[in-house]
Amino acid sequence: MANTETNSTKKKAKFGEGLGSFLLAVAAILAFRWMLFEPYVIPSGSMIPTLLIHDHILVSKFSYGVRVPFTKKWLFKNSEPQRGDIVVFRSVEDNGYFMIKRVVGVPGDKIEVDQEGYVKLNGEKLETKILPVSAAPESQAPYYPVKESDLGGGTYADFDFFEENLKGVQHRALLTKGAARFFDRPMTVGPDEYFCMGDNRDNSKDSRYWGSLPRENLLGKALFVWLSCDETLPFLPFLCNPLELRWGRFFHGLK
């Protein structure tokens, strides 16, 4: 009888140890995602050619600070977002919806967008360079921005690809030829706010629509693409189809 009770006690102790280890592991994973890094999947083409639909990216949650869990309050702040940073944030219009854009204006900047779609920063048009478009592999055509099939509709001829110098940060962007544009009024970025735009300038709902992004909405800075695919599995749309991987984009740094 005593031996049976001893075995039962040992089993309970082992179960308790196993449960404790499991809960500790879960807590460690949650803390890692809350404080340090978190993966996200790109759902739309608003950041083409920098990011493509079904790109899986890693985001640094620590870059701009650490916040109180499940709130917008900061425990402490690290560096401030800089022009050119690609940031993930909670939508200004819907707190439960996450978005990704590029920081174009920081506090105090005056932003304008002319009728051709190009940006003026503090009264000065940003330096741009038209990029030649080629269907050759990127190793053979250094300005090859994206496959035609990744454009989300249309052909190369429907877009103007260019490189923009964002006061020292060079990145690729595109404009849709013949697009109607409405944002022609200057906007001054307020304290603790940022003006954000998609690199696919005529196919992005961004600060031109909903205004400056409050710092409290920031979630982190996008670092690199670690996985990418043309198609996902039909029965598990959040997983890449292993037959449709974009191998050349694996561990592709973002700028």
* Per-residue exposure over 20-44, b if at least 16 CB sit within 10 Å of its own CB, e if not: eeeeeeeeeeeeeeeeeebebbbeb
Given the residues 46, 63, 207, 228, select the one marked as catalytic.
46
Which residues contact residue 193 at a Cβ distance below 8 angstroms, ignoring those fewer than 6 apart? 107, 212, 213, 214, 215
Given the residues 61, 63, 101, 228, select the one marked as catalytic.
101
Q: How far is CA 125 from CA 86, 109, 149, 174, 190, in A?
A: 21, 13, 31, 16, 21
Does residue 72 carry a catalytic annotation? no
Does residue 101 carry a catalytic annotation? yes
Pairing of strands 170-176, 252-253: unpaired
Q: What is the DSSP track for 41-78?
A: E--SSTTTTTS-TTEEEEEESSTTEEE-TTSS-EEEE-
Active site residues: 46, 101
